A = this chain, B = another copy of it.
Amino acid sequence: MKLCDFSFVGWIAASCTSFGFLPQIAKGLKTKKLEDVSWGMLWVTFTGVTCWLLYGIVKSDIILIIANVFTDSTLVTLILMKKIFKRKNNA
């Protein structure tokens, strides 16, 4: 192992941004409300994360690939939750 191996910074970054939307999912499941969460944020971030994933694939960067597959799945979960809560609250 190199003395100055900074790949751990990448792994912390990947972990935090990958797990970043989990607290939002947890809060949403608890309160059954995601009204204040912006559709724009969810869709723009989803598009961006999907592009980071492609960038990671092109650059063969395993950290980018794993991180962004996970983040995309949490974003899809939030989008579905917001759709379901919206339908229920309008019913």
Contacts and interface: CB of A to CB of B under 8 A. Distances in A.
A16 B44 contact: yes
Contacts of A39: 23
Q: Which of A10, A22, A54 has the most CB of B within 10 A?
A: A10
Interface residues of A, number: 41
29 contacts: A6-B55, A6-B58, A9-B54, A10-B52, A12-B47, A13-B48, A13-B49, A13-B51, A14-B48, A16-B47, A16-B51, A17-B45, A17-B48, A19-B48, A20-B44, A20-B48, A22-B40, A22-B41, A22-B44, A23-B39, A23-B40, A23-B44, A24-B37, A24-B40, A27-B36, A27-B41, A31-B36, A33-B36, A34-B36
